[in-house]
Amino acid sequence: MIRVSVAVETPQYAGLAPCLDYLSEQPLLPGTLVRVPLGKRDVPGLVWDVDPDAAPCDDRLLKPVSEVLQALPPLDGPWRRLIDFSARYYQRSVGEIALAVLPPELRRLEADGLDRRLVKLARRPAPDPSAEAPPRPALSPGQAAVLATLLPACRGDADPACHLLHGVTGSGKTEVYLRSAEAALEAGRQALVLVPEINLTPQLEARFAERFPGRRLVTLHSGLTPAQRLQHWLLAHLGQADLVLGTRLAVFCPLPRLGVVVVDEEHDPSYKQQDGARYSARDLAVYRGHLERVPVLLGSATPSLETWLHAQAGRYRLLSLPERIGQGELPRVTVLDMTQQPKPPAGREAPPLAAPLLQAMRQRVERGEQTLLFLNRRGFAPVLGCSACGWKSGCPHCSAWRVFHKRDRTLRCHHCGFADRVPRACPDCGNLDIEPIGRGTERLEEQVAELLQDIERPGGGPVRVARIDADSTRLKGSLEAQLAAVHAGDVDVLVGTQMVTKGHDFRRVTLVAAVNPDGALFTSDFRAPERLFATLMQAAGRAGRDAQAAARSEMWIQTWTPGHALFAALRAHDFAAFAQSQLAEREMAGLPPYSHLALLRCEARDPAVAEAFLREARDAARALMPPELADELVVYSPVAPHVAKVAGFERRQMLLEARSRARLQWLLAQWAPQLGPLRAAHKGLARWAVDVDPLDI
C-alpha cells in the first residue's frame, strides 16, 4: 500500500490538515480524481502534491482510497499551483477551493458513471474544420498598433506579459480579443475569455462562434444545467475545446494548451466572488498568466484604479484605443442641474424627467431613434409609506426596506427574499392612503409611457416602452427576446438597470439618460465615485455606436450636484484625469491601491455574540504583531455594515489594514488558524469568513 495525499472539501476552520493521507494499492499521480472515506461519508477528493513539512503518521491509522476515477486525466501542475496560491492568499483550505471549482456533477459521479459520460462525449461530432469564417473587418490604425504589440506574445514568439487594453466604448476591443484568440489557436493553443455577467455571454459567444466556425467553443457559467457544465468542462480539460468563454468561475477551468487569457470589462465588481472563497477572478487570471507564461489581456473603457496604477507604473503594458471605429464621435454629455428645474405644485410629486430631457426624448421618437433610460433601482418604489403615522414597509428579518412591486402587488425584500402582499391599509394606524416613496424601473416605465402618450411614431402607433431588469428577465430566454426586440427596432424607449449599460451594441440608441445617479455617489464606500464613473461611462457608450448617428448622440445626467468633479471628467470623457484625481485622494487617505485590506465578517442571531467574537479576534491579531510593525499593520474595532441585519442574522465586520501586501499576508497566515478554535468558544456564532481585498466595506 502506498501513502497518498488527498485534498478533500473540508473548511479551514475544521482544524484539519490542508490535505489528508490515505493508502492506495497503486501509485497515483497528483491531480487524479478519487473517492475516499471521510467520517461516515464517501467523498470526492483530488490526489495532491506531498507536503514535505507534513507531520509523520502511522500508516496503520490510515484508511484506503475507495475508488480511483482513472478515466479522467490528472489535473496538471499549473492548475494545482493556481489552487494552492488561491488557498493561501484567500485564507481557505486547498480542498475547499479545489473541489468547489469542479463541476457539481463530476463530484457526484463514480467511476462507472464517469466512463459512460466520456463515451457519450466521444460520440459528439467534431466541428467541421473546412467551415469558412466570414471576412474579417478592416482594422483601424489604433487596433493595428495594439495587435502589433500583442500578437507575437499570443503566438508564443515573445515574452508574455499582462496588458491593459484601455479603449473607449465602441473602439473595437472585441475585435482585438478575436484576433488575439485567433493567433493563439493558430499556434495550436487554447484561449480563455472571461466576461463579468451571464447576460453578456450569449452575444459574445455569437461573435466568437461566427468568427471561428471550425473550432469548438464552450461556455462556463451558472446558467448551464449540471450536465451541460460537466460536458463543457470535460471538453476543455481533455483539450478538445479550443475556446472557453465564461464568467468568474471559468478562471479555474483546466486548459492543457492555454495560450491567452482575456478579461473583458476587467473593472467590473462581478469578478469578485462574494460568498465562500471570496476570490477575484481578474487577479487570479493575472496570476494564472504568470504561472503558465501566457499573455493576459485586461480590457476596459474605465479600468479599476488598481489596474490603472499598475499600467502607469509599467507593471502592466498599456495599450490604448482612444477613438471609436469609423472615427465616430463619443456622445455629448449634458449635466442637467435639477436644482434649477421648476418646482412642482405643493402636494404633487416632481416628474421623473426634467422638461429639457423629455423634449430630447420626443425628438428621438419622432426621428425613429431609440432612448435608453438608466435607473439602477428595480421595482416600482423602494418603499411604501404612511403619511399619517410614518409607517414604512420595513423587512421583519433585515435592517432594510421591502420594495414595492406593483405588477404582482407584493412587498419584497431584495436581501433575504421575504415577500408579502401589499396591505390594504397601514398596519399601524389603519390609514387607507399608503403611497409609494421614491422610484424604481417599474414605475419609471409606467410614467414614461404616460409622458409620451401624445406622440405618434414615424410608422404610426404609440411609443413603445420596454424595461430590462432582474424582474423582467426572470424567465429563461426572456432576456434574449427583449434584447432582440431592441436590436430589431421594436422598442423606442428602453428603461433598465446596469444590466443594459455594458457590453450591448445598440445601433439605434442615440440618447442615454441617467435618471438619478446621485444615490450611488454619496455612500460610505470609498469606491463609490469610481464605480459611478465607470457605470456612467459604460452607459454613455451605448449611444452613437452607429457612426452615422454618432454626431447627434447624447448622454444626459439628472443630478442635484452638478459641480462634482466626477461630472466634469465625464463631460470630457477623460478617464485619465478622473483616475489621477481619485488616486491622489486615495494616496492622501492611505486607501487602496496604496494600502491593502482584509475584512473579518461574522453573523449571529445575537449581535453581542458577533461583537464578542470580533473583539477577541482583534486582540489575538494585535498580540501577533511585533512592536516594530505597529505603524504598518492596523486592526480596527468591530463595526456594523450598512445593512446590519439580513435574514434574521446580525452582521458585524472588522477591518485589517497594511501598507504592504506581504505584511498583510504574513499576519493573516498567523492569525487565521486561531479563528476556528476561537469560534468554538462563542456559542451562537452562525458563520464567519475572511475577505481579502474586499470590494464592499
- 544 half-sphere exposure, CB direction, 13 A CA radius: 26
C-beta separation of 539 from 511 below 8 A? no
C-beta separation of 633 from 626 below 8 A? no
Angle between helix 111-122 and helix 226-237 axes, rounded to 10 deg:
70
DSSP H/E element including 380: none
DSSP per residue, 167-203: E-TTS-HHHHHHHHHHHHHHTT-EEEEE-SSGGGHHH
DSSP per residue, 611-633: HHHHHHHHHHHHHHS-GGGTTTE
Please tell me whether residue 456 adopts helix, strand or coil conformation. Answer: strand
Q: Does the annotation flag 389 for ligand binding? A: yes
Would you give the DSSP letter of residue 460? S
Q: Does the annotation flag 413 for ligand binding? A: yes
Ranges of H-type helices in 328-418: 355-367
CA distance 8 to 95: 4
Burial class (CB within 10 angstroms; exposed 0-12, middle 13-18, buried 19+) of 185: buried
Write phi, then psi, for 195 (nearest 5 degrees): -125, 155
Please tell me whether residue 238 adopts helix, strand or coil conformation. Answer: coil
* Angle, CA 392 vertex, CA 389 and CA 397 arms, to 5°: 135
110-147: string of b/e by CB count within 10 Å (b at 16+)? ebeebeebeeeeeeeeebeeeeeeeeeeebbebbeebb
- 639 half-sphere exposure, CB direction, 13 A CA radius: 11
Residue for cell digits 482612444? 322
Burial class (CB within 10 angstroms; exposed 0-12, middle 13-18, buried 19+) of 676: middle
CA distance 633 to 611: 21
Joined together, the cell numbers standing for residue 566 give 466626477
CB atoms closer than 10 angstroms to residue 76? 16
Q: Does the annotation flag 162 for ligand binding? A: no
CA distance 319 to 356: 39
Q: How far apart are the first and last CA of the chain?
A: 51
Q: How far is CA 211 from CA 3, 171, 206, 215, 245, in A?
A: 49, 19, 9, 9, 14
Q: Does the annotation flag 426 for ligand binding? A: yes
CA distance 117 to 114: 5
In the chain, the amino acid numbered 336 is L
Please tell me whether residue 116 adopts helix, strand or coil conformation. Answer: helix
Please tell me whether residue 60 adopts helix, strand or coil conformation. Answer: helix
Joined together, the cell numbers standing for residue 463 give 411609443
Please provide the size of the chain in residues: 697
Joined together, the cell numbers standing for residue 124 give 459528439
Would you give the DSSP letter of residue 256? T
Would you give the DSSP letter of residue 396? S
Joined together, the cell numbers standing for residue 230 give 460537466
Cite the annotated binding site for Zn(2+) by residue number: 386, 389, 395, 398, 413, 416, 426, 429
Annotated binding site: 386, 389, 395, 398, 413, 416, 426, 429
